[in-house]
Structure 1
Amino acid sequence: MAKTNAGRFFEDYAVGQVIDHAVPRTVSGGERALYHALYPARHALHSSDEFARACGLAGSPLDDLAAFHVVFGKSVPDVSLNAVANLGYAEGRWLLPVHAGDTLRSSSEVIGLKQNSNGRTGVVWVRTTGTNQRGETVMEYVRWVMVRKRDASAPAPETVVPDLKAVLPPEDLVIPEGLDFSAYDFTLAGERHRWGDYEVGETIDHVDGVTIEEAEHMMATRLWQNTAKVHFDATFREDGKRLIYGGHVISMARALSFNGLANAQLIVGLNGGAHANPCFAGDTVKAWTEVLDKADTPAPGVGAIRLRLVATKGGAPFELKDDNGKYRPEVLLDLDYWALMPQ
């Protein structure tokens, strides 16, 4: 009897199936230090306990995307070990801050299935939930992946495509308890631009770039315990290249967005996202942002801002798709998210 795990294939999933993922992960200050070593992350709320306390929180929470990576990484062996590609995200919400000492685990419910016309792969939709040691939900999101079939002759399941919100309405966003930006220190935060300084339709070139290093993306993949073969096994692809984990690109782009969006302190909603083209070691990632929407919140001094974050590996900023509506080849990431910013 085989004791190793080959991972799930498309025909192993059923709508309504709930998968509890191994292995629980206790995060520490080391998680933050390594996250900030991997990316040029320097948003003040995630860097300083004193700054966070001045904003009404108990202390500085773990970077929002670091918490996302931990929860996401738990799901990989059960959801995307045999994936061809991670296709998109929707309905992502950060519900509670994650602090050093918290233990995170995750589970996923299969909410959709659709076999592709080639009969060799299919798309699986899952809603993944991350919880802490008290059983409280810290975040949730939907993602869909293209997964290989074990047996191309296996019958196709009934097609179920979930009806997902294109955009989270502002009332669905959860503001951390106690958050108060009414006495926000713009000098310590690094920029003076506040919520009222941004206009819907405005675009921001974040200017800076970072070249992806083989060692760093491999360290990140191992840190998040992401076991997808395309990320760590150079023999898994015909070109002999290891595909950069899409979350690595997300975190890099978010960190680069500090230059121009230093006061977009907390990510609270993920409306959608696409990994438009593959990223490999040696690519230089740059980023630009478009302001899509703004909303008031009930928290004192806190506004919500909806942003489209685009990561590229070259090309001119603000160019996203070609005349046929397809992503340009230099576009790596198209991410639509809500963030909180001082008013």
Structure 2
Amino acid sequence: MNRTDAKFSFKTSAGNFFEDYRLGQVIRHAVPRTATEGDRALYAALYPSRFALYSSDAFAKASGLARGPLEDLIGFHIVFGKTVPDISLNAVANLGYAEGRFLAPVYPGDTLTSVSEVIGLKENSNGASGVVWVRTTGHDQTGAAVLSYVRWVMVRKRDHAAPAPETVIPKLAPAVAAADLVVPEGLDFSGYDFELAGAPHRWSDFAVGERIDHVDQVTIEEAEHMMATRLWQNTSKVHFDATQREDGRRLIYGGHVISLARALSFNGLANAQMIAAINAGAHANPCFAGTTVRAWSEVLDMAETANPGVGALRLRLVATTAGTEPFGLRDADGRYRKGVLLDLDYWAFIPK
């Protein structure tokens, strides 16, 4: 049969464009994904992560947990990846995060699903794209929420002539309040082994305003970032399809930079074991394969918790290109410096 004689059925999806979103729209994302020990192994292979709570069941049990959970960012990446085909398949860029809370540890064997609600819309002045704000919640197989966060994405329009929606920009909290941090049930750092964890520094050794240069550097390889993005089932075209950008380069998934910077922060913050919340985050400049990344942190706030021996640090984690002067964030005009890749504000649990 000639192709001209065949009946074609168009069952593929080009993804959502800006004009497809509606305020209050709820999207239940496909496909459920079961996290495994393989995710732990691949995460350790992709990033130089050495935090003891995730590396050792024995250390986790001594800290009051049933066993070693998966890295918090594994759960984040899986939940995030579910949203990409519906939210950011046609994205120009992922712009930022807010109000992120890690509500329960994720363990091997947990099956995660994601659901998002559109909470804001704003068409750009060029009429070719717009910004979509969504609140995404990840659930495990029991229906319990394991994390929730807001992100906003610049998405292309399919039809530039499509009418602009009413502009609604959600009012977001500048930070998750310390009182709203969820400490995992049973977490107890009163018998914490600092020698095995790799550093002597406890909560009381830090001070608001203190800055830490994490010293180490890692060069991003093309194969590694594409493997990571596939691992999290992130299908955004800009990460795989070299024709999506005029320069023919694949954009590094922002979560890859987050995990890399978090792993680099071990040197100086080895005892900041668990991520409790993401207060704010921005991918300040694009990142591409071949970039050598380093990181520095600043202590923004400190809080106590009700769990034995557990304190919380609010930290700014900044990833930069190699050669960028540490501790510099913005230029005289208030814009991010060219070498700044990531500006992430988060809470972490640390032994007191």
Q: Which amino acid aligns with 2:130?
A: G
Counterparts of residues 153-302 of structure 1 (less than 5 Å): 153-302=161-310
Query: Which residue is 2:6 aligned to?
Result: none
* Aligned equivalent of 2:34: 26
Partners of 2:137 and 2:40 in 1: how far apart?
Answer: 21
For residue 86 of structure 1, what is the aligned residue in structure 2?
94
1:37-116 to structure 2, matched below 5 A, reads 37-116=45-124
Matched, 1:325 2:313: no
Which residue number corresponds to residue 5 of structure 2?
none
Counterpart-to-counterpart distance in 1, 2:104 and 2:177? 18
Q: CA RMSD in A?
A: 0.5
Between the aligned partners of 1:46 and 1:144, the Cα distance in structure 2 is 30
SS where residue 215 of structure 2 aligns? strand
Cα distance in 1 for partners of 2:310, 2:51 equals 16
Per-residue deviation, residues 22-56 of structure 1 (Å, max 9, x unmatched): 11000111100000000000100011000000000
Q: Residue type matched to 2:225 in 1?
A: H
For each residue in 1:287-317, what CA deviation from the matched residue of structure 2 results, as whole angstroms up to 9, or x when unmatched?
0000000001011100010000000013110
Counterpart in 2 of 1:335?
344
Q: Distance in 2 between matches of 1:18 and 1:144?
A: 15
Tell me the distance in 2 between the aligned counterparts of 1:5 and 1:312: 36
Q: What is the rounded CA distance, in whole Å, between the counterparts of 2:10 and 2:286 in structure 1?
A: 34
> Which residue, 148, 153, 157 being the options, matches 1:145?
153
Q: Which has the larger radius of gyration?
A: 2
TM-score (norm 2): 0.97
After TM superposition, give the deviation of residue 318 of structure 1 in Å: 0.4
Alpha-carbon separation, structure 2, partners of 1:275 and 1:215: 21
Aligned partners of 1:147 and 1:19: how far apart in 2? 16
Give, as a single letter, the amino acid of the residue that structure 2 aligns with 1:330.
G
CA deviations 1:227-266 (Å, max 9, x no partner) are 0000011121111110000000000000000000000000
Any gaps of 5 or more consecutive residues in structure 1? none
Query: Counterparts of 1:39 and 1:3 in 2: how far apart (Å)?
Result: 37
Supply the distance in 1 between the matched residues of 2:95 and 2:60 (Cα, whole angstroms).
35
1:134-186 per-residue CA deviation (whole Å, 9 max, x = no partner) reads: 00000000000000011111111011111110011101110000000000000
Structure 2: stretches of 5+ with no match in the other structure: 1-8
Q: Which runs of 4+ in 1 moved over 6 A?
A: none
SS at match of 1:163: coil
Structure 1 residue corresponding to 2:136, chosen from 100, 121, 128? 128
- Aligned residues: percent identity? 73
Counterpart of 2:262, as a letter, is R
Q: How many equivalent pairs are there?
A: 343
Structure 2 counterpart of 1:29, which letter? Answer: E
